[in-house]
Amino acid sequence: MLVVVCIKQVPDTTQVKIDPVTGNLIREGVPFIMNPFDTHALEEGLRLKGKYGLNVAVISMGPPNTEITLRKALALGVDNAVLLSDRAFGGADTLATSKVLAEATRQLAQKEEVVIVLCGKQTIDGDTAQVGPGIATRLGYSQLTLVEHIENIDLQAKKIIARRKLEGRDEVVEASLPAMISVVREINTPRYPTVPMRLMAEGATVTLWDNKEMKLNEETIGLKGSATQVRKIFSPERAVGEILGDGAANPDEAANLLIDKLSEGGLILI
């Protein structure tokens, strides 16, 4: 039985800065990393492997250099890594992305029964949290988002019990397998690769699936299959370092100025 972990290689957005003069993004030297939320999904997959003896496959849709990130997953102990890369996949929004990932899962499931698909809660570059539900819906799997703890998996009865983290409450939910689970960062602490595993991963194979392999209708994937279009992109106005009033002499005035700023920015509701 197989656990499929969906990962995305993303630019490390915490490293991206805006050029104060041109307003352009400074991306030079910014590394591509495994989406931090996905590292927790991967870790959970590896823990399930340890606990239930499941095999773990990672899939990732992206440009050819995504292979580097897939090798990192191999170094952590996954059994199989599949790179979904094709020009036709490019420019995809979440709808078109989930199409490709769901299809890849379906094809993997033809060889080995898939019990769980794991995703990170969201990505740090897109922040949408939509691909996981997209995959679940397309495959007809149970959908458990924002999981902070997997309490039990019964492979015989095909049941899973998981604890979800929502605003102001946790929910303990039972669902049938196969299930798509998106995880929050609190679920675990990702492991660090050992050197022998890294060396092994350097020579391991990353399977490449392009659209010849996947045979998806090109109208439903990539840019063409995307329902949303980005019309324009602009720099947000971000206040930096504005000192409000004279807090030492007149704390009331400074406090009022601050509250004005915060309510203008929608940060506090008055």
Partner 1 sequence: MEEKKKIKKPRGKARLIPGKCIACGARCQSSCPKDAIEMTEDCEPVISIEECIGCLKCIKVCPADAIEIYFTPEEQRILDEIKARSRAVAEPEAEVLSDKEAAALAKIKQYKGVWVFIEQTEGEPALVAWELLGAGAELARTLNVELCSVVIGNKVEELCRESFAYGVTRSYLMDAPVFRFYRTEPYCQAICYLVEKYKPEIVLVGATGLGRDLAGAVATKLETGLTADCTGLAIDDKGFLLQTRPAFGGNIMATILTENTRPQMSTVRPRVMSLPVRDASLRGEIVRESMPLKEDDFTTKVLEIIKDSKLDAVDVAAADVIVSGGRGMCARENFSILQELADELGGVVGCSRSVVEAGWMPVERQVGQTGKTVRPKLYIACGISGAIQHLVGMQDSDVIIAINQDRQAPIFEVASYGIVGDVLKVVPVITRRISELRAQRIKPKENRQPITKNAGDRKGRKHID
Partner 2 sequence: MTNSILFLTIFLISISFFGWSCFRYFRLITLGKAENRFDHLGKRIRDLFLYSFAQRCSISGSYRFGVNHAILFWCFMILLVANTEFLLAGIFPDYINLANLPTGLYYTIALIFDIASLLALLAVLTAAGRRLFFPPKYIEARTRDAFFILGMVAVLMLAFFGLHSSEIAQGSERAALYMPISSFVASSILPGASTESLISLANISWWIHAIVLLCFLNYLPYSKHMHILTVIPNSFFKRLTRMSLQPREEFNKGNVFGVGQVDQFTWKALFDSYCCTECGRCSDVCPATSTNKPLNPRLVIHDIKENLLTNGPMLINKEQAKLPLIGGGQDGSIDEEVIWECTTCGACMEVCPAFIEHVPRITDMRRDLVEMKARFPQELLNFFENMEQRSNPWGIAPAERTKWAAKINVQPFEAGKTECLFFVGCAGAYDARSRHVTLAVTKILDSAGVSWGILGKDEPCCGDSLRRLGNEYVFDRMVKENIEMFKEKGVRKVITQCPHCYHTLKNDYRRYGIELEVVHHTELINNLIKEGRLELTQTRDLGNIAFHDSCYLGRYNNIYEAPRKAIALATNQAPVEMERHHDRSFCCGAGGGRMWMEEKIGKHINVLRIEEAMKENPETICVCCPYCMTMFEDGLKDKGADNRVKVLDLAEIIAKAIK
Which residues form the interface with partner 2 (CB under 8 A)?
12, 14-17, 26, 28-31, 33, 189-196, 198-200, 203
Nearest 5 degrees, angle CA 8-CA 238-CA 30?
35
Single out the segment in contact with partner 1 by CB under 8 A; choices: 44-52, 110-118, 124-132, 192-200. Answer: 124-132
**Shortest gap between Cβ of 265 and partner 1 (angstroms)?**
6
Residue (19 or 113) nearer to partner 1, CB: 19
Beta-bridge partner residues of 116? 3, 179
For β-strands 159-166 and 169-176, DSSP reports them as: antiparallel
The CB density around residue 151, as the number of other CB atoms within 10 Å, is 12
CA distance 106 to 127: 25
**b/e per residue, 233-262, with b = 16+ CB within 10 A?**
eeeeeeeeeeeeeeeeeeeeebeebeeeee
Q: Is 133 an interacting residue with respect to partner 1 (CB under 8 A)?
A: yes
3-state secondary structure of 151: strand
Binds 193: which of partner 1, partner 2, none (CB < 5-8 Å by kind): partner 2
CA dihedral 71, 185, 209, 11 (to 10 degrees): -70
Nearest 5 degrees, angle CA 121-CA 50-CA 61?
40
Residue (192 or 230) nearer to partner 2, CB: 192
Q: Which residue, among 176, 199, 186, has the nearest Cα to 43 in the 3D structure?
A: 186
Residue (18 or 262) nearer to partner 2, CB: 18
For β-strands 25-26 and 17-18, DSSP reports them as: antiparallel
Residue (2 or 76) nearer to partner 2, CB: 76
Binds 195: which of partner 1, partner 2, none (CB < 5-8 Å by kind): partner 2
Binds 120: which of partner 2, partner 1, none (CB < 5-8 Å by kind): none
**Shortest gap between Cβ of 233 and partner 1 (angstroms)?**
5
Residue (78 or 102) nearer to partner 1, CB: 102
Tracing tokens 């239930």 back to the chain, one arrives at 52
Binds 240: which of partner 1, partner 2, none (CB < 5-8 Å by kind): partner 1
- Is residue 160 a contact partner of residue 142, using CB atoms and an 8 Å limit? yes
Residue (77 or 120) nearer to partner 1, CB: 120
- Is residue 54 a contact partner of residue 202, using CB atoms and an 8 Å limit? no
Q: Is 254 an interacting residue with respect to partner 1 (CB under 8 A)?
A: yes
Q: Is 184 an interacting residue with respect to partner 1 (CB under 8 A)?
A: yes
Q: What number of chain residues touch partner 1 (CB under 8 A)?
A: 100
Residues 191-250, interacting with partner 1 (CB under 8 A): 222-224, 226-236, 238-248
Binds 24: which of partner 1, partner 2, none (CB < 5-8 Å by kind): partner 1
- Is residue 135 a contact partner of residue 102, using CB atoms and an 8 Å limit? yes
Q: Which of 2, 74, 75, 92 contacts partner 1 by CB under 8 A? A: 92
Q: Which of 20, 22, 212, 215 contacts partner 1 by CB under 8 A? A: 22
Q: Is 161 an interacting residue with respect to partner 1 (CB under 8 A)?
A: yes
